[in-house]
Amino acid sequence: MNIIEVRNLKTKFENKIVHDNISLTIKEGEIYGLLGPSGCGKTTLLREMVMLQEFSEGSIEVLGYDIYNINHVNAQKIRSKWGVLFQAGALFSSLSIKENIALPLIEYTDLSSSMIDEIVNFKINLVGLKSSDAHLFPSQISGGMKKKAALARALAMDPKLLFLDEPTSGLDPISARDFDRLILKLRSVLGLTIVMVSHDLQSIYDTLDRVAIIDNQKIAYEGTISEIGSVNSNFIQTFFKNKEHII
């Protein structure tokens, strides 16, 4: 089943064309990467998929809904089925980590506070934070911890679809690898579909099933990583040149 389908997408800012006729398909249960040089519009595409930004032409279908013509009820429905991890975490600065994670649970379910507590503590532990840090505020924790807390918030409602914007940037190599393992585990256990924007080569090789490479406003390549070497693109040749050192 296709979780996300992008068809002939065109995005324009004033006179600048960002995407020109982009099409891609993301299937259920896969970890899909959006790659490309900086400024190619990866994050813009991600923002269009989560309805934060409008596109000019074409269509995007997420979880079976055409998000261009979606009504409010269906939009809320699919919003409850995905989790989004922003690049800088975007935790609510006036709430503690615990309250940040508990917020969707409090707003969308009728659970008792002890059950919410239990779920929050589990999610905190799952992403590798200490439960003693749960009462801290976002301004009191490091960048890496913010990222983990934001992931815990994205996972709070057990989403089927997870969007990650540069999940490993700003993490130390050990935490980054832990993060990769965590993502793989979540996918296998919870059956998540994960869409991520990444620049971390190690993470790309370790986690991604399929990738789309956006270059010069178009999709330069869509498919598995192993077949990428045969593609004739300037960006791919330079970016993946040193892959032998990594694997």
Q: Which amino acid is at 34?
A: L
The residue among 12, 8, 11 whose CA lies nearest residue 21 is 8
* Binds another protein (CB under 8 A): choice among 126, 184, 201, 231: 126
Residue with tokens 């490993």: 168
* Interaction residues for another protein, span 188-247 (CB under 8 A): 188-191
Total of chain residues touching another protein, rule CB under 8 A: 31
Angle between helices 113-126 and 143-154 (to 10 degrees): 130
Phi, psi torsion values for 216, nearest 5 degrees = 50, 45
The per-residue DSSP string of 127-181 comes to TT--GGGTT--GGGS-HHHHHHHHHHHHTTT--SEEEEESTTTTS-HHHHHHHHH
* Interaction residues for another protein, span 7-66 (CB under 8 A): none
Interface region with another protein, contact rule CB under 8 A, candidates 13-21, 106-114, 144-152, 173-181: 106-114
- Residue closer to another protein (CB basis): 125 or 237: 125
- Residue closer to another protein (CB basis): 56 or 140: 140
x/- track of binding to another protein for residues 142-181 (CB under 8 A): -------------x-xx-----------------------
Residues that bind another protein (CB under 8 A): 93-94, 105, 108-112, 115, 118-119, 121-126, 131-132, 135, 137-139, 155, 157-158, 185, 188-191
